[in-house]
Chain A
């Protein structure tokens, strides 16, 4: 039997805020909408930045991408702060349990030496690449236009930091502080890492937020994550008895599966806006993904040796197919 509790019923005067009613009609708005649409100042900005007087404080002109309405670039996950932190809190619970499991069962010690070495050589220097990604997404959030586009970049930046920290913990667990020192040395001076470090440093000087979005989140991470975490760790290493490593990188695999949906949605909306945008995106994705692929070959070689070329080639083909679905043929 259902019992309806009686409450004092008062008819509301209105359903939502004016700016949301203009966008979505006169109906109750979701918390994502309330927290994301039109909350950045847009008009009557008071002063030009002293750090670059050619720009406005919030400026759509600092990127080559042109949008009639930047709030079209919505996040299909509808992440606002609360849903974002709740999602990551659950994932960090799992990650924590995985680290504890590997540690308490002594699984790290049971790894074949050769595979542990590979895991350390391949994964630990990537914490610096993840820090580069953090820098880039922070910049997109800071200088990009419209909250629906920029807030997920802040979330992405903090995820990048979280990933860098998980990779550091993996290094400490499998190889103690020496592993972090060796990883940094390899990142700075090891031949295998220089093309990738050069790539990252070249992105650190980009100031077009959308180009940076492409160079980091589409081109580099679109190749690096499936290559490293899916092909190498989850498949190649697990098949050789190192599934403990895959437990330590589950966060990265799950995270990539989730965030790529957002990245694709942004590309798709921007490309659908105009032929101009599509052409710019094609140019950026082609140029940056070619460079990223070349930079990742010597990295993949650390695990795959002579198979690295093919493995990277597969990912390049997969990325092309993925990008084609967003309406951009390379």
Chain B
């Protein structure tokens, strides 16, 4: 054999094909149906997995190399943050409520997404699709872990972080996010991709990550902002995967369109409800605010989302059904949720508070058509009660939406004075919903949503209304983790420690 044969020069695409797709084969000792048992039941038709366009061409050696570099930087900064009492550089300890909520509700979702991507990374028959999903599975483990590691130091000094794992499974408001991820994971592989890969990662992630990480930067939280920067290039890959996946489904067969459209409608609305918590964080929980929820929605929802759906229109996809109702809710939702959180603050493992006069001025300016008219009067009333020594506490049972699991606190899209409450009777039982969107999700798949675990009735079934026993069960330390920020241990400690660090007293 000639020792000096010239090797063929392979272009990047061809080389990547050989290093990934070419690894797979059609099984012949077992049937494809046995090897990939879940890929047909949702009704999505795929004729040629080979038509999948690899959204990024990353081989494992390159993956290890790039990611390790990012990991080194991330942990160097997180270590320095811990060593130098970086927690004292935040604007105010009120800010931590946002982090507490994030760790209890969102980080577990990152982990769940990792499990879900491992599942679909096995269940899809196309090698290109599988590899992309597997890398995302690995990334999601990274995100869950880096978030826990970034926030671990706060846990040592502040309340509300210590029981995030218990809160994830037991406390009431985390089931908003938990039910979202459980819903996606109990769906088939294609719906999972629309739920997490497309709706969450592509349409909604900017509304979660950009405001959240910018909020961290604005409020001096070096640990979280470092996580955000470090995750950014992963997120870019995930967004590309989500978009590729939806285009692939739509291009494979015209019969897929109505199924995909149904999932887009559903998962837009599910995601929008989860983002309700983010709206509150942006408008109320950041001592130094980046922008209002309304402004974020204009940029990341209206502009970016609008452009996306214009692009998808060539496949026959229309914007999600709940889009108009979402637009009508934008100027109300953060106020409605914060009022809810405040009145039920006995049962939250984070603090809430009455907005200061300055805060209310800001809110009035950002929400000129709604705040002064509907919400300032309520806050003023609550303020008066607090000043009189009879703070407004609602120990009653919050009626939760059977679908999104938020308390039914939202108003009618066209009448902000009327509470929106929908009911459906299914097999003799009555179910409650916060909106038309959630009711429709239920009615399309009632046998699924009747199974939902509702955390509020639990308080009565298991503990007979004994709030203290319930608090033990959710690992909530009454008087420390919950209640008003004013007068809290977090507030006192932060002021005292900051005094130690910045003065000679």
- A residues at B contact (CB < 8 Å): 7-8, 10, 12-19, 29, 31, 34-35, 38-52, 57-58, 80-82, 85-86, 88-89, 91-93, 95-96, 106, 109-110, 113, 116, 127-128, 130-131, 134-135, 138-139, 141-143, 147, 150-151, 154-155, 157-159, 161-162, 164-166, 168-169, 172, 176-177, 180, 184, 187-188, 197-198, 201-202, 204-205
Contacts and interface: CB of A to CB of B under 8 A. Distances in A.
Contacts of A45: 182, 453
B30 A48 contact: no
Contacts of B75: 82
B137 A162 contact: no
B396 interface: no
17 contacts: A13-B157, A14-B156, A17-B164, A19-B163, A35-B144, A46-B175, A47-B179, A47-B452, A49-B185, A89-B64, A106-B3, A141-B115, A150-B115, A158-B63, A161-B23, A161-B134, A169-B19
A172 B15 CA distance: 10
B488 interface: no
Give the most central of A35, A169, A198: most B CB within 10 Å.
A35
A201 B33 CA distance: 12
A46 B452 contact: yes
Contacts of B122: 135, 138-139, 142
Nearest to B110: A39
B111 A39 contact: yes
B22 A17 contact: no
Contacts of A43: 169-170
B270 to A, nearest CB: 12
Contacts, number: 262
A198 B29 contact: yes
Contacts of A158: 60, 63, 134-135, 138
Nearest to A111: B3
Instruction: Point out which of B35, B64, B83, B116 has the most chain A C-beta atoms below 10 A from its C-beta.
Output: B64
Residue of B122, B138, B149, B179 with most chain A CB atoms under a 10 A cut-off: B122
Contacts of B500: 8, 10
B195 to A, nearest CB: 12
Given A92-B60, A131-B23, A168-B23, 6 more contacts: A7-B83, A12-B157, A13-B158, A58-B115, A86-B71, A109-B4
Contact of A204 (B20, B35, B64, B451): B35
A264 B212 CA distance: 43
Given A158-B60, A165-B19, A205 B7 contact: no
A97 B325 CA distance: 58
Given A127-B23, A201-B30, A49 B145 contact: no
A42 B169 CA distance: 7
Interface string B340-384: 000000000000000000000000000000000000000000000
B329 interface: no
Contact of A165 (B59, B135, B137): B59
A57 B182 contact: yes
Interface string B226-251: 00000000000000000000000000
B149 A14 contact: no
Contacts of A49: 185-186
A13 B156 contact: yes
Given A10-B500, A82-B71, A161-B134, A50 B145 contact: no
Contacts of B27: 201, 204
A47 B156 contact: no
B185 A7 contact: no
A180 B25 CA distance: 13
Contacts of B134: 134, 138, 154, 157-158, 161
A161 B138 contact: no
A202 B182 CA distance: 30
B453 A34 contact: no
Interface in B131-189: 131, 134-135, 137-138, 141-142, 144-146, 148-149, 152, 155-159, 161-166, 168-170, 175, 178-179, 182-183, 185-189
A80 B1 CA distance: 47
Contacts of B186: 46-51, 57
Given A85-B64, A88-B64, A142 B115 contact: yes
Contacts of A142: 115-116, 118-119, 121-122, 137
Name, among A14, A47, A96, A201, the residue most crowded by chain B CB atoms within 10 Å (CB to CB).
A47
B67 interface: yes
B25 A187 contact: yes
Interface in B172-217: 175, 178-179, 182-183, 185-189
A197 B141 CA distance: 31
Contact of A46 (B63, B155, B161, B183): B183
Contact of A85 (B4, B18, B67): B67
Nearest to B452: A46
Contacts of B116: 142
Contacts of A201: 27-30, 35
